[in-house]
Structure 1
Amino acid sequence: MLGFRRRRRSLIAACAVVGALFTSAVAEAQDRRQNAPGAFDFYVLALSWSPSYCEQASERGLSGRSQQLQCGGRPFAFVVHGLWPQYERGFPEYCERPAPRLDRRIVDSMLDLMPAPGLIYNEWDKHGTCAGLSQRGYFEQIRKARAAVRIPPDFIDAKEPRTVTADEVEAAFIKVNPGLSNSAIAVMCDRKRLSEVRICMSKDLQFRACEEIDRRACRRDQLEVPPLRGG
């Protein structure tokens, strides 16, 4: 019985040590500026391949207003998912609770780049409130960031389905964007399709390396690229 108690105490002590190490690791992974508006290191500009989103929405039976706007007659290619403040490790989110209600006129002004009102509201609440900018200033920053990135010709008028590798997508973006390196771009995918291209940018919207983002990139050998819809 005494031996059992000793083993039990040793097990409890070992668990406590493991728990303390885990707590320390989690704390280290979180930036000390956590969720302070304007206190971050760089942006990630996320560009979603709209045809992949629309195919996935169709497979899931989604049919709300956002799907109607993005997946209707207009042939959207890459659209802006968001501009996300980042730390070197981790990222802030929901930096104001509740977030100031976004002006509907700003939402309407962004539909050419982000053709989903629900997405625009969510991006402001989750990411925009962390940028340390006004509502209008944040969405102007999104527009500037998008204007700073050239889309490769093969993704502007993609009328036929094709298969690519993540490296080929990266190379296409690097070719038409001087200063962009493979350490500043990450290609994302779902089970089989190209889903997003994420580009890391400094606060003044210059391309910059981002190891943590690059580590999350798609590892599949081949990606399907659905063609543009409508149009």
Structure 2
Amino acid sequence: MIDSRAGTFRILLALITAITLATAGAAVAQDRRQNAPGEFDFYVLALSWSPSFCQEAAERGHAGRSQDTQCGGERPYSFVVHGLWPQYERGFPDYCQRPAPRLDRNLMASMLDLMPAPGLIYNEWDKHGTCSGLGARGYFETVRKARAAVKIPPEFLELAAEKTVAPDEVEAAFIKVNPGLSNSAVAVTCSRSRLSEVRICMSKDLQFRACEEIDRRGCRREQVVMPPLRGG
């Protein structure tokens, strides 16, 4: 009886050891590429619904700080660029150069029409831009090209009253006006009951492409609220 138990224990120990080694091997393989600039599979263009962001900032007491341009300026923003994020098929790199090369202030200022908060631009360069394998100017030129490749549905450009929608409706609206975009390449995210972002997956040459992991992380609410543009 003792021998039988010992034999079973040895088999279990061998299985655990094999699984551990396999897992460690996979981790090592991932680590070889983790945070290596330019070594990634695709981009995610994250478009933030600005009215949701500004409402949440006000609720947290953060309005009037680094978001002055976006939430306190004269222009009523709709979708703005949160970032262009290099991604792996599973997971993503970040902060690929420490310290990050200093971002020129004039280059930062040139992006305020798409990313209307200086702090956001600096952070996106440090966290995501350094993983692109591009210099700062090349990275932000790519951000601008990615944004230009995506058309915003007209019903969201001048939203004057609060709108309640299903996440699938928002995806469908983007798919309708962007030929080649499919359900598997776009995801809506939400914060509390508000629409937060639309995330669109793009290849390195900025063509729409499927991204299962991003799609799985989409909002699971049946409906979300889109606050109106400022002044609406």
TM-score, shorter chain, exceeding 0.5: yes
Indicate the residue corresponding to 1:140 in structure 2: 141
- The amino acid of 2:207's aligned partner reads Q
Q: For structure 2, which runs of at least 5 residues remain unmatched after alignment? A: 1-5
Q: State how far apart, in whole Å, the 1-side matches of 2:194 and 2:205 are.
A: 32
Q: State how far apart, in whole Å, the 2-side matches of 1:148 and 1:137 are.
A: 16
Indicate the residue corresponding to 1:53 in structure 2: 53
> Does the 8 Å CA contact 1:163/1:223 hold for their aligned counterparts?
yes
Q: State how far apart, in whole Å, the 2-side matches of 1:74 and 1:56 are.
A: 18
- The amino acid of 1:205's aligned partner reads L
Identify if the C-alpha distance between structure 1 residues 24 and 152 changes in structure 2 by more than 3 Å, giving closer, same or farther: same
State the shift of 1:41 in Å.
Answer: 0.9
Equivalent residue runs for 1:91-170 within 5 Å: 91-170=92-171
State the shift of 1:31 in Å.
Answer: 6.0
Equivalent residue runs for 1:133-212 within 5 Å: 133-212=134-213
Q: Deviations over 1:178-210 (max 9, x none)?
A: 000000001000010000000000111000000
> Does the 8 Å CA contact 2:87/2:93 hold for their aligned counterparts?
yes
Indicate the residue corresponding to 1:67 in structure 2: 67
After TM superposition, the score normalised by the length of structure 1 is 0.89
- The amino acid of 2:33's aligned partner reads R
Indicate the residue corresponding to 1:222 in structure 2: 223
SS of alignment partner, residue 84 of structure 1: strand
- The amino acid of 1:138's aligned partner reads Y
Of all paired residues, the percent bearing the same amino acid is 74
> Does the 8 Å CA contact 2:167/2:188 hold for their aligned counterparts?
yes
- The amino acid of 1:140's aligned partner reads E
Q: State how far apart, in whole Å, the 2-side matches of 1:105 and 1:130 are.
A: 21
Q: For structure 1, which runs of at least 5 residues remain unmatched after alignment? A: 1-5
Identify if the C-alpha distance between structure 1 residues 85 and 147 changes in structure 2 by more than 3 Å, giving closer, same or farther: same
- The amino acid of 1:56's aligned partner reads E
> Does the 8 Å CA contact 2:54/2:63 hold for their aligned counterparts?
no
> Does the 8 Å CA contact 1:31/1:90 hold for their aligned counterparts?
no
State the shift of 1:32 in Å.
Answer: 3.7
Q: State how far apart, in whole Å, the 1-side matches of 2:33 and 2:207 are.
A: 23
Count the aligned residue pairs. Answer: 224
> Does the 8 Å CA contact 1:201/1:207 hold for their aligned counterparts?
yes
Q: Deviations over 1:137-180 (max 9, x none)?
A: 00000000000000001110101101000100000000000000
